[in-house]
């Protein structure tokens, strides 16, 4: 499977590189509002070979539960990239920031290459024949990642534009700030589940082995989140100005909705990672698209009813409660059918 992953990554990297270089001016015009930064797009198109290689190495280490290697790659990558990014941003401002964002991921390929060369997997040949099933399985993961990468930002853009239209830029800024805070602490749980939980699920085939593991990690994640979220809420009047600025004082009264929504979301993440680990493509696509539609629908309904930015926060809470409830029902059915 690792040999198949090498070939799969290489093929898609070549396709992305060709498209990125070929349409660099158009992409620069769309993102930067000018075609003169086309070279940044070209740089990114070439650098993504390094991204893919790093993901391949860390993915294999995760699958083998070699968390030490994963941690070392992250630590060394950060040590290498932070001073370079600081120099680029200080010296070249916007252009330096754009380049540093590319380098931020590229530099991780240096420690990844070191650990790859030391492993037995470097000796595996890239194979293209008789690998149809392997390619199909990897394609399912690609589709899941693509839908998540596109649907979430798209939903945010739609809701942000509606907030600006109905309430104003200040309200949209408050909601966007809560999203950034949420992404920061939710990222911890995403990495924890991806690195530690998902490999454990992937290696188990029996439902009787998977469901106890799911409930165990649910309890663990819920306990950690409640402890962290409770501390954050109690200290919100100090932490929000510190992490954002004093201008976001209105967020103090609304953050409770975001924290409650994230409590249900992080618990549901445990079930979602089982879906991803087992490459259940149809279930994943349906859940991702349904979440986006429900969130957008509720947000627009509450905005049209004059609830303002509070309505968007409440819509997020309702959507996550519904998603949690459906996931729990699905987990119970999955457990019963597996007996």
- Show pLDDT as tens, one digit a residue, over the chain (339 residues): 666 777 778 888 898 899 989 998 988 887 777 888 888 888 888 888 888 888 888 777 766 666 677 778 878 887 888 888 888 878 887 778 778 877 777 788 888 888 877 776 666 555 545 466 666 666 767 777 777 777 787 888 888 888 888 888 888 888 888 888 888 888 888 888 877 787 777 777 677 778 888 888 889 999 999 999 999 999 988 888 887 777 788 888 889 999 999 999 999 988 887 776 665 667 777 887 888 889 999 998 998 888 888 899 999 999 999 999 988 888 888 777 665
**Long-range contacts, stretch 268-272, CB < 8 angstroms, 24+ apart:** 268/320, 268/323, 268/324, 268/327, 269/189, 269/190, 269/193, 269/221, 270/193, 270/197, 270/214, 270/217, 270/218, 270/221, 271/214, 271/327, 271/328, 271/330, 271/331, 272/327
Tokens 């070279």 correspond to 39
Handedness of CA 45, 51, 52, 53 (dihedral sign): positive
Locate 47 and state its tokens.
Answer: 């650098």
User: Distance between CA 203 and CA 193 in Å, rounded?
Assistant: 15
Does the global pTM surpass 0.75? no
Q: Are 202 and 277 in contact (CB under 8 A)?
A: yes
Return the pLDDT at 261.
93
Return the pLDDT at 313.
92
Return the pLDDT at 322.
92
Return the pLDDT at 206.
76
Backbone torsion region of residue 338, taken as left when φ is above 0, otherwise alpha when ψ lies between -120 and 50, otherwise beta: alpha
CA atoms within 13 A on the CB side of 228: 17
Return the pLDDT at 280.
65
Return the pLDDT at 123.
61
Return the pLDDT at 195.
76
Maximum CA extent, the chain: 63
Return the pLDDT at 110.
85
């Amino acid at each position: 499977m690792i040999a198949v992953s090498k070939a799969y990554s290489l093929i898609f990297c070549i396709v992305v590189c060709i498209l990125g270089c070929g349409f660099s001016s158009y992409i620069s015009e769309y993102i930067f509002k000018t075609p003169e930064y086309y070279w940044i797009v070209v740089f990114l198109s070439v650098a993504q070979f390094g991204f893919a290689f790093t993901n391949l190495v860390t993915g294999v280490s995760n699958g083998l539960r070699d968390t030490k290697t994963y941690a070392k790659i992250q630590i060394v990558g950060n040590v290498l990239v932070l001073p370079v990014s600081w120099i680029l941003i200080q010296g070249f401002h916007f252009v330096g920031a754009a380049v540093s964002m590319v380098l931020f991921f590229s530099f991780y390929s240096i420690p990844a290459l070191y650990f790859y060369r030391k492993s037995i997997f470097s000796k595996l040949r890239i194979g293209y024949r008789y690998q149809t099933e392997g390619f199909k399985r990897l394609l399912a993961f690609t589709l899941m990642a693509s839908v998540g990468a596109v649907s979430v930002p798209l939903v945010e853009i739609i809701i942000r534009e509606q907030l600006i239209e109905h309430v104003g830029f200040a309200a949209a800024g408050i909601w966007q700030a809560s999203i950034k805070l949420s992404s920061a602490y939710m990222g911890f749980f995403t990495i924890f589940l991806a690195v530690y939980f998902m490999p454990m699920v992937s290696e188990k085939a029996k439902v009787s082995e998977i469901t106890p593991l799911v409930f165990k990690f649910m309890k663990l994640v819920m306990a950690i989140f409640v402890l962290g979220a409770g501390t954050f809420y109690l200290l919100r009047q100090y932490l929000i100005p510190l992490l954002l600025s004093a201008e976001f004082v209105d967020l103090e009264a609304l953050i409770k909705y975001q924290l409650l929504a994230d409590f249900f979301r992080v618990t549901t993440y445990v079930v979602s990672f089982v879906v991803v680990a087992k490459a259940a493509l149809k279930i994943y696509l349906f859940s991702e698209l349904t979440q986006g539609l429900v969130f957008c629908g509720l947000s627009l309904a509450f905005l049209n009813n004059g609830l303002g930015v509070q309505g968007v926060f409440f819509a997020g809470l309702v959507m996550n409660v519904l998603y949690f409830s459906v996931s729990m029902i699905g987990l119970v059915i999955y457990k019963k059918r597996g007996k």
